[in-house]
Structure 1
Amino acid sequence: MRGVGPGTVLGGRYTAQQRVAQDRGTERWLADDTTLGRRVSVLVVPADDHRAAAFLDAARRAGSVTHPVLLRVLDVGRDDEIAWLVEEELPEARTLADLVSDGGVPGDEVRRITGEVAAALESARGRGMHHLDLTPDDVLRTSDGEVRLRGLEVAGVRAGEDGLEPDDAARRDAVGVVALAYAGLTGLWPLGAGASGLAAAPRVPGGVASPSEIAAGVPRDLDALCRLTLSDDQGPTSPGDYASQVAPWPSRQVVGRPVVPVPAPVLPEPVGVEEPVEDEPTPTVSPEPEEPGTPEDSPDDDATAQLPVVPAAAAGAAAAGVAAGAVAAGRGTPDDEAPTREQPVVTPEADEADESDPEAADPAQDVDDTEVTRVVERPTPPAWAVDETADREPADGSPEDARSDDDAPGRAAASGAAVTAAMTSVGTSVSSFARRAVDKVTELSPDTRRDPDADDDLLSPLVPAEPLTRDQSKLAIGIIITFLVVALVIGIAGIRRIGANTNLGLDGPIATSPTGGASRSPSASASSDEGDGADSGEPEPLAILKVEAYDPEGDGSENDNLTPKTYDGDTSTGWFSENYRTDAFGGLKKGLGLVVDLGPNKKPQNVELVVPQDVDLEVYVGPDATRDGATKIGEKTDAKGTLEFPVPEKVNGQYIILWYTGLHADADGKRRAWLDEVVVTG
Structure 2
Amino acid sequence: MPHSTRSGDVLAGRYRLVDLLDESGGARFWRAHDRILQRYVALHVIPADDERSSALLEAARRSATVLDPRLLRVLDAERDEAICYVVNEWGDGVSLDILVASRGPVAARQSAWLVGQVAEGIATAHAAGVAHGRLVPENVLVDRHGEVKIIGLCVDAAMHGRAGDRAAADVADLAGLLYCALTGRWPGGGGSAVPAAPEHHGHALRPRRVRAGIPGQLDALCDEVLRAQHHTHRAEGLGSARGIADLLADYVGSPAGMAESWRAVVPALLPGSRTTALPPLPPDPAPHDAEPDPTPEPELPPTEAVTAPLALPTEPAPDAGTQADPDAPTRTVGTVSPPATSPIPPTPATEPETEPVPAPEVATELPTEAGLPIFGEEPDDVSWLSKRSQPVPPPPPFEEPPERPLFAPEPDDGEPHRRRRPGAAPPPERDPDGYWPWEATGAGATGDSRVSAVHTGTGSTRAVPAEEEVPGRTALRVAGIIGAAVLLLVAVVVAYNLGRGRTPLGAEPAAPESSASATEQPEAPPETGPLTGLVATDLDPQGEDGDENGDDAPLAVDGDPTTSWSTSTYEQQLGPGGLKTGVGLVVDLGAEREVTAADLTLVGSPTGVALYLTSEEPTDVEGLTPVAGATAEDERLQLSLEEPATGRYLVVWLTSLPNDGSGWRGTVAEVAVEAVLDGADGADGESTAP
Asked which structure has the greater RCO (Cα within 8 Å, sep 6+), the reply is 2
Tell me which protein shows more helix as a share of its residues.
Answer: 1
Pick the TM interval, shorter chain. 0.3 to 0.5
**TM-score relative to the length of structure 1:** 0.35
TM-score relative to the length of structure 2: 0.35
Q: For the pair shown, which has the larger CA radius of gyration, 1 or 2? A: 2
